[in-house]
Amino acid sequence: MPELPEVETTVNSLHILKNKKVIKLDIHTKKLRYPVPHNKLKNIINSKLINLRRIAKYVIIDLNNSHSIIIHLGMSGRLKILKKDNLINKHDHIVFKFTNNKFLILNDPRKFGFIDVIQSDKINNIRYINRLGLDALDKNLSVKYLYNKFYKSEVLIKQLLLNQYIVAGIGNIYASEILFDAKISPLKKGKDIKKSQIGTIIKSTRKILKKAIRYGGSSINDYVSPDGTLGNFQNNFKVYGMEGSFIRGCQIKKIVLYGRSTFFCPKIQT
């Protein structure tokens, strides 16, 4: 699943479409995770794209008609920018044509993503947005904020980092990398995390996610940026997918927590 760095990279790649007008729209499916809002999408034709941004793992496309397109890429979705529409394949479900003869395509083989059209000033009122916790890169993410979420919790710290209602944007890959960088075991319960360790987690979160963005995200399964560029952060993983390897004299182990693969070094992460 594309995580915060991949979504941020996607948003950055879409700026070639800024100030361009949607002149045509083709919809090739009735349903992704949810039904595709055909009528709402048709109403954006002749609207200009004026801003691009990210909220957690959501791509937000603001238009000059006071509406915004919200896209979640699900497990295997991606956005593509093409110069020709004759390259459309069977997993290209929605195709936007812009005035610069560029095509923006929502591709999703597993159909776990979704697309929505919302009045721009109502976005923060949408249930799937307003329930989110602070963004993982939000400057307001503080020791006090996380301590209040963690200090009574029997839940393991890795699962707490994956809880989008606590911290928005972190996924399975980066949770393992963040905890390794912070030298904290994924098996430690929230209530056992000290305030000093929470500060370290915040520093490691910012360090890992910002570095991943600089490297264009991680391409280990399906992720490719809209311009076709592969992410490169997977070549900088310290523990994720490295089971059996040694780092600083410690052998990396793989366990399954809450149904998700987890990689860590027991001697380093305590």
User: Looking at the annotation, which residues are catalytic?
Assistant: 2-3, 57, 260
Dihedral over Cα of 23, 117, 133, 73: its sign: negative
Tokens standing for residue 73:
């890429």
DSSP per-residue letters across 120-136: GGGGGGSHHHHT--EET
CA dist., res. 197 & res. 249, Å (int): 23
SS3 215: coil
**Rounded distance between C-alpha atoms, residue 11 and residue 48, angstroms:** 16
SS3 state at 221: coil
Between CA 202 and CA 208 the distance in angstroms is 10
CA distance 79 to 31: 17
Is 100 in contact with 80 (CB distance < 8 Å)? no
**CA distance linking residue 110 with residue 159, whole number of Å:** 24
**CA-to-CA distance for 167 and 162, rounded, in angstroms?**
7
Q: Indicate the residue type of 232.
A: N
Q: How many CA atoms lie within 13 A of 142 on its CB side?
A: 4
